[in-house]
């Protein structure tokens, strides 16, 4: 593990990277084992998910039948701990990018899954594997909504993974951002000198041993590494900007800063502030909405502003609709509509019905002409009847008895009755 992190480019929160590499370095001498909240981690075992993700209301048993946690149609994919290239397990301590990709592919192909939730609590990890994993998820998303929750850290490489989500949600204390690259160089030169040890590197190619830990980093090598860091940061920012829909300049201007809670929403790196305990019900509400691709429910960050915004908007719309010129224009439009219906070719022989549709309904000209075209022409004996009587005059009527209300209405009557009972805009 240490070899995968030391002297490598990391898309990782700098403080977390220092702490991690330092801890591994101290343990390196006598070897070390990896443990998480379930005990020792065996890299040969089936990838397991930290029980920390059970806080979303799941039982540990629902991981037995699927390669991800599953509840109420939602696949929970953990993005936790240090993210490492080609690591064969997932735990609260570390997660392999390939494991995240594998779980995503399985959830994406599973007919039981309605939505995918990336549960993120990670400071990031290696650049190696990060961009490929991000691109794979972005390019293979299907019709299933993909959400991400920052609970309680989504920095650097984890921010890159989060950027592919259709919606990104953050808790009020979650730290996110850190869109940048860091490389840690460890030099043992002074320590070796104090110990009386000398290390000789025999190599061919002037850059073959650049960054080796046995001597301090030369300025020229530092500048080379810095250039590579800048290039990787540019790629990183481009991916985050493209996936979220921000200008790349906006992402670069963050200068790898981290944001807490609402500040991440304000910076454009998150969409909403939520309580992590409500994430499943919030996602389910979205999935059950008539148009789950666009409909959003009110969340913590919106509750304090939605009522005020709606009242202001309603007031502005009311003011815009009240000038005298608007009233005059409406009257002219209504007169033209009535004339178009009454004088239409389809109104011939259907005078009463045409007048009814023009003056007693809000039908558009197209809707009214459609009804007239399907209605039978009225006979001369029906001119004193109402519009529906006129429309039905030439239609064969059943033998009406005391239960005449059960008789079949005419086609024209069905049109008008349907229009009257319809709700919504007409």
Catalytic residues: 156
**328 phi and psi angles, rounded to 5 deg:** -65, -45
Helix (H, G, I), strand (E, B) or coil at 75: strand
Beta bridge partners of 182: 10
DSSP string, 148-207: EEEEEEEETHHHHHHTTSSEEEE-TT-EEE--S-EE-----HHHHHHHT-------SSTT
CA–CA distance, 172 with 260 (Å, rounded to integer):
7
Question: Would strands 272-273 and 182-183 be described as parallel, antiparallel, or unpaired?
Answer: unpaired
Instruction: Check residue 287 and give left, alpha or beta (phi > 0: left; psi -120 to 50: alpha).
Output: alpha
**Location of structure tokens 């991000």:** 134
CA–CA distance, 246 with 231 (Å, rounded to integer):
19
Task: Identify whether the C-beta of residue 161 lies closer than 8 Å to the C-beta of residue 137.
Answer: yes
Residue 332 makes CB contacts below 8 A (sequence gap 6+) with none
Residue 335 makes CB contacts below 8 A (sequence gap 6+) with none
Residue 79: which of 2, 168, 18 has the closest Cα?
A: 168
Residue 336 makes CB contacts below 8 A (sequence gap 6+) with none
Provide the sign of the torsion angle of the four alpha carbons 78, 83, 88, 94, taken in this order.
Answer: negative
Beta bridge partners of 280: none
């Amino acid at each position: 593990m240490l070899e995968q992190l030391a002297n490598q480019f990391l898309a990782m929160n700098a403080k977390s990277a220092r702490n991690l590499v330092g801890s591994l370095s101290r343990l390196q001498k006598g070897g070390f084992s990896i443990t998480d909240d379930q005990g020792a981690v065996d890299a040969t075992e089936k990838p397991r998910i930290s029980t920390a993700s059970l806080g979303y209301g799941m039982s540990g048993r629902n991981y037995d039948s699927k390669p991800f946690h599953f509840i109420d149609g939602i696949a929970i994919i953990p993005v936790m701990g240090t993210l490492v290239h080609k690591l064969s397990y997932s735990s609260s301590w570390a997660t392999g990018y390939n494991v995240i990709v594998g779980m995503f592919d399985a959830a994406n192909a599973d007919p039981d899954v309605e939505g995918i939730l990336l549960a993120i609590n990670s400071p990031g990890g290696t650049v190696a594997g990060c961009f490929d994993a991000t691109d794979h998820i972005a390019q293979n998303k299907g019709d299933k909504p993909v959400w991400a929750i920052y609970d309680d850290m989504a920095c650097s490489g984890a921010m890159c993974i989060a950027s592919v989500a259709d919606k990104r949600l953050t808790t009020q204390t979650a730290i996110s951002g850190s869109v940048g690259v860091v490389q840690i160089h460890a030099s043992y030169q002074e320590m070796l000198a104090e110990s009386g040890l000398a290390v000789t590197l025999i190599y061919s190619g002037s850059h073959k041993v650049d960054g080796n830990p046995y001597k301090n980093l030369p300025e020229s090598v530092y500048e080379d590494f810095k250039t590579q860091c800048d290039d990787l940061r540019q790629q990183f920012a481009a991916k985050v900007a493209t996936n979220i829909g921000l200008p790349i300049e906006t992402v670069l201007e963050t200068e790898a800063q981290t944001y807490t809670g609402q500040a991440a929403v304000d910076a454009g790196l998150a969409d909403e502030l939520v309580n992590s305990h409500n994430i499943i019900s919030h996602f389910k509400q979205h999935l059950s909405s008539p148009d789950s691709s666009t409909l959003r429910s009110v969340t913590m960050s919106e509750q304090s502003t939605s009522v005020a915004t709606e009242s202001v908007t309603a007031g502005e719309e009311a003011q815009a609709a009240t000038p005298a010129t608007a009233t005059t224009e409406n009257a002219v439009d209504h007169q033209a509509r009535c004339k178009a219906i009454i004088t239409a070719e389809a109104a011939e022989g259907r005078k009463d019905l045409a007048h009814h549709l023009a003056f007693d309904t809000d039908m558009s000209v197209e809707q009214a002409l459609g009804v007239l075209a399907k209605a039978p022409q009225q006979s001369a004996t029906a001119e004193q009847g109402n519009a529906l009587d006129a429309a039905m005059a030439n239609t064969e009527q059943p033998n009406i008895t005391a239960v005449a209300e059960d008789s079949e209405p005419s086609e024209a009557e069905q049109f008008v009755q349907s229009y009257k009972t319809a709700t919504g805009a007409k």
